[in-house]
Chains A and B, each alone.
Chain A
Amino acid sequence: NAGVTQTPKFQVLKTGQSMTLQCAQDMNHEYMSWYRQDPGMGLRLIHYSVGAGITDQGEVPNGYNVSRSTTEDFPLRLLSAAPSQTSVYFCASSNGPGYTFGSGTRLTVV
């Protein structure tokens, strides 16, 4: 049982480039979320999904897109990377109440 798998673990992007952070879970969880962690700010919700085909914005959605075509996958797309998006990104899934988190993607935008 792999849990929540995030790829890649590390990524360096140039300003203006686009990329997709992958997230997959094998626990048949309905709820999935993307968070970013920045020093002194805890984890902030980027986007959220309550099931396949249903997504919603979180606290800091600007510059990011998501889709949920299957229960298992919830990719996060950076449309045009900016240095302010340098962060550690976590994907999580749940059937309630506690979420299971992936190990994170450390993204640096130069």
Chain B
Amino acid sequence: DQQVKQNSPSLSVQEGRISILNCDYTNSMFDYFLWYKKYPAEGPTFLISISSIKDKNEDGRFTVFLNKSAKHLSLHIVPSQPGDSAVYFCAAAETSGSRLTFGEGTQLTVNP
């Protein structure tokens, strides 16, 4: 069973606008949630994380929101830039540092 799902395989936005990437999970034992960015032919790069005791975490242009009751998290990128074009993976873990379960990924394209 897919415990972490990203239902949108792709997303296209204009430069300067907001990008919103969504992620749903089913395992109520997940306590940490992370977002990774991946460019072609490179390994995933850690972007931002949030623990279940918070509902929001910000880092510059990136904000992650967590809704535990809905088992849903989202990544907001404001303003979007062409360099943000990449595949974004949502991931979850039961404890900090424990094994990660990834979603399928969303290809974000930011058009100039």
Residues of A within 8 A of B (CB): 4, 30-31, 33, 35, 40-45, 48, 56, 58-59, 90, 92, 94-104
Contact = CB atoms under 8 A, between A and B. Distances in A.
A98 B57 CA distance: 14
A103 B38 CA distance: 10
B34 A33 contact: no
B97 A90 contact: no
B18 interface: no
A43 B93 contact: no
Interface of B: 4, 6, 9, 32, 34, 36, 41-46, 49, 51, 89, 91, 93, 95-105
Given A90-B43, A97-B34, A33 B100 contact: yes
The 10 closest A-B pairs by CB, nearest first: A96-B97, A101-B43, A96-B96, A98-B46, A97-B96, A42-B102, A43-B102, A42-B104, A97-B32, A31-B97
Given A4-B43, A102-B43, 10 more contacts: A42-B4, A42-B102, A43-B102, A58-B99, A90-B44, A96-B97, A97-B96, A98-B34, A103-B43, A104-B42
